Amino acid sequence: MNRKSALLGALLAATGLGLAQAPPVERLAYRFEEVKSKVVRSPGGDESRDVRVAAGDPAEAGDVVKTGLFGRTVLAVPDRAARFEVFSSSRVQLAGGEPGVLLVLEKGRLKAAFDAFTGASEARRVAAPGALLAVRGTRYGLEVAGGESVLAVFEGTVEVFPSDGTPSLRVERDEYCVFGPKTPPRKDQMGKAGMSEKSWGSRGSGMTEGKPGKPAEGSQGPASPGSQGRPAGSGGGRGGH
């Protein structure tokens, strides 16, 4: 064996060793804990394969879940100590293109609950049009309608990372925030808009396309301590805490 062949063999062996040691890609398991009325799952997002679901059924990353006019479901992600109550006329995608995203709310309304978790908080994010949401052991409501999203924080803290890379905004308990692809995040007190955790399941934010109770321009003030933007070129929304 000449020197060139020996070097090539050593390189291939090292490459094979690196591949063998690469950690496997984690595939999260989802479970329908509660199902009311019509709830449909599209495996892998393929709506031609829609199936109705029942309590106890599993789901996987990439699936799309849709609730009917009177539908409601509770989705659990046991490995992330997370539960999502998805209300009627909603559409969510399980997992997303960004690392750590558990669910993408495309339309409708949900309530998220996160229990104590020993892993990284970056592994428990939720996406909506225009931003990623990073949490610390919290409960919050999220609604998407009319090209804008409304976040209402019931417990804990949620940091909103706009997808355009502008500075993040930290939303605390009893505050709400309006944001969207063309709407920079701004927050105000939930009480001013008549929002509460108790009424979230029946009426959500109570807004119509973000109008009643919408925070006034400039109401967010300066970003709270600890809020920060992402470095340029980060691809948007990767800076969860």
pLDDT at 117: 55
Overall average pLDDT of the 231-239 stretch:
40
Q: Contact 170/187 with Cβ under 8 angstroms?
A: no
Overall average pLDDT of the 17-22 stretch:
41
At residue 11, φ and ψ (nearest 5 deg) are -65, -45
pLDDT at 42: 97
Q: Is the pLDDT of residue 127 over 70?
A: yes
Contacts of 119 (CB under 8 A, 6+ apart): 80
pLDDT at 12: 42
Q: Model's pTM, two decimal places?
A: 0.76
Q: Is the pLDDT of residue 225 over 50?
A: no
Strand-strand pairing, 72-77 and 82-86: antiparallel
**CA nearest to 148, candidates 166, 133, 129:** 129
Coil/strand/helix, residue 47: helix
What rounded mean pLDDT belongs to the chain?
A: 80
pLDDT at 1: 52
Domain spanning 28-203, CATH class: mainly beta
Task: State the Cα–Cα distance between residues 104 and 144, nearest whole angstrom.
Answer: 11
Coil/strand/helix, residue 202: helix
